[in-house]
Homo-oligomer: A and B are copies of this chain.
């Protein structure tokens, strides 16, 4: 995980852009775009991965299609000092937490949470509040995305493992 800058030139930039647009683009095709052979592109991609510029390749999924229709940000306030280490442990206990970070401001941490519906979200929230560290939470529910294709709109969701139901078999309230 060296974050050491080796050289990062124009060509690397273009290659990364191409792979962000479509991670399955062939090296030959990228090469044709940037003016390199497939081999050269592959070598650069390998290097970009080794140096940690590219950390992986992933499918972007529309959470709603998998039955994840509810999304919220949760500000977390902790008892006394909240060492990030212990917060990280807590966060790992709840698969519905798709992102978590320490932040400036009154709260100690900000969580991004995905749930199937409001009922499920309430359950997650109660679970989180049960954690010994947590003093209080403030939730902000996401209503609609203004940038539909932004990664946070589509990419961040629990793995389908955690999806209790199928896209074609979503539980109804009541």
Question: A107-118: contact bitstring with B at CB < 8 Å (1 yes, 0 no)?
Answer: 101101000000
Partner-contacting stretch, out of A31-39, A124-132, A156-164: A156-164
Question: What is the minimal beta-carbon distance from A11 to any residue of chain B, in angstroms?
Answer: 11
In chain A, positions 83-118 with a C-beta closer than 8 Å to chain B are 84, 87-88, 91-92, 97-105, 107, 109-110, 112
Give the chain B neighbours of A3 by CB distance below 8 A: 62, 64-65
Q: Is the CB–CB distance between A104 and B143 below 8 Å? A: yes
- Among the listed B8, B51, B84, B143, which residue makes an inter-chain contact with A101, where contact means beta carbons less than 8 Å apart? B143
Instruction: Say whether chain A's binding surface is mostly helix, strand, loop, or mixed.
Output: mixed
Which B residues are CB-close (under 8 A) to A144?
A: 84, 101-102
Complex: A97 Cα to B56 Cα, angstroms? 23
Q: Which residues of B contact A166 (CB under 8 A)?
A: 5, 8-9, 13
In contact, A101 and B146 (Cβ under 8 angstroms): yes
Q: Interface code A136-174, partner B: CB below 8 Å = 1, 0 otherwise? A: 000011111111011111111001110110111000011
Nearest chain B CB to A94 CB, angstrom units = 11
Contact of A163 among B8, B99, B146 (CB under 8 A): B8
**Quick one: which of A65, A91, A92, A104 has the most chain B CB within 10 A?**
A65
- Can you name 15 A-B pairs with beta carbons within 8 Å? A5-B168, A8-B65, A8-B167, A8-B168, A12-B160, A13-B161, A13-B163, A14-B160, A21-B174, A24-B24, A53-B61, A53-B167, A73-B110, A91-B147, A99-B153
Task: Known pairs A56-B60, A88-B146, A101-B143; list 18 more (Cβ under 8 Å).
Answer: A8-B164, A8-B168, A19-B59, A22-B56, A23-B23, A52-B65, A53-B65, A54-B62, A87-B146, A88-B147, A97-B147, A98-B151, A99-B152, A101-B142, A103-B142, A104-B140, A105-B140, A110-B140
